[in-house]
Structure 1
């Protein structure tokens, strides 16, 4: 499942599991993933959250207000993801492919978290006074990517662009050159 994840993204998922265990939860939810992102500390998502003045202490206290710690018991084995956490991972994959990336990094996970607005992580960020749209634009600025276009904008952009940009930049259109009379005559065929 995590084969396309970067090392940092894998670390985030491990930290999310640790946070779930620390809170004595028998599941990994969006709130644990958010805690993992903040705790990781050096990825794109962590830097974006730092820029938005979000730190581990604030997130942890907000999560603890929102969800209570579970009964003190040791959970052995793998912790399952909640349906919302699974949705976040699907959205992260979708965001990565929309940006043309063949990997899933911490930035994609954070984009997935804010896109799943019904999750506890989005609620935590909102409670901390963060506008979810500003998180998205901050990530895209950090990556140097353009914001997603609407359907109408996509259609006009695709009609003006060539279907073969690599071929256009590295090749020569011999048909066009022949029309313009710029090809040397071929003798002896």
Structure 2
């Protein structure tokens, strides 16, 4: 399912799963993905940050307070016994589907952190979309910035996802 995801995007999804498990949640929600984006963006050792981190930085979103806000949201959830692979909420499944759609619409042959960010923003009822909107982000402006940054960061990797 994640074969077209960039290394950073796969790391975000892995972190989302780990974070949900650490908090004792029974599912992976959009807030876990947002937390993964913030963690990868704030702490990644790569000389090239994920595009989502660069986009958030462009809009003056400080990733550390964003992580703190998401952590606060996650702390209030009920705890369950840890399992190896957690189920995804419907919102999370939508985010992944939207991320693939965003990659296709931009003619990118990969799904990167930028597409996950756009996917998070498309589901207005999801916690992550509300957090990002409260930070002043608007999907059209984010999409425009993604269009500017992603080819440069990914060395022009374009072409449709098959």
TM-score, normalised via structure 2 length: 0.78
Query: Partners of 1:53 and 1:7 in 2: how far apart?
Result: 24
* Alpha-carbon distance in structure 1 between the residues aligned to 2:62 and 2:17: 19
Aligned residues: 145
Post-superposition Cα deviations, 1:93-127, rounded to whole Å, max 9, x if no partner, equal 11111111221111111111111222111101122
Structure 2 CA distance for aligned equivalents of residues 62 and 124 of structure 1 = 8
1:96 paired to 2:103: yes
Residue 2 of structure 1 aligns with which residue? 2
Query: 1:169 maps to what in 2?
Result: none
Q: For residues 146 and 95 of structure 2, what CA distance do their matches in structure 1 show?
A: 16
Partner of 1:16: 16
Task: Measure how far apart 1:74 and its partner are.
Answer: 4.1
Alignment gaps of 5+ in structure 2: 42-48, 153-162
Q: How does 1:24-103 map to 2 (within 5 A)?
A: 24-41=24-41, 42-103=49-110
> If you compute each CA radius of gyration, which structure gives the higher value, 1 or 2?
1
Tell me if the contact between 1:111 and 1:136 (Cα under 8 Å) persists in the aligned partners. yes
* Stretch deviating more after TM superposition (136-145 or 84-93): 136-145
CA RMSD, 1 decimal:
2.1
Call closer, same or farther: CA 1:105–1:73 in 2, change over 3 Å: same
Of the two structures, which has the highest relative contact order with CA contacts closer than 8 Å and spacing of 6 or more?
2
Please say if 1:121 is aligned against 2:98: no
- C-alpha separation between the residues in 2 aligned to 1:24 and 1:69? 11
Decide whether the 8 Å contact of 1:114 with 1:122 is kept in 2: yes
Determine the C-alpha separation between the residues in 1 that align with 2:61 and 2:24: 24
Cα offset for 1:9? Answer: 0.8
CA apart distance, 1:92: 0.7
Q: In the superposition, relative to structure 1, how do residues 106 and 126 fare at CA in structure 2: closer, same or farther (>3 Å)?
A: same
Which piece of structure 1 moves more, 42-51 or 130-139? 130-139
Gaps of 5+ in 1: 146-189
Q: Do the aligned residues in 2 keep the contact of 1:125 with 1:132 (CA within 8 Å)?
A: no
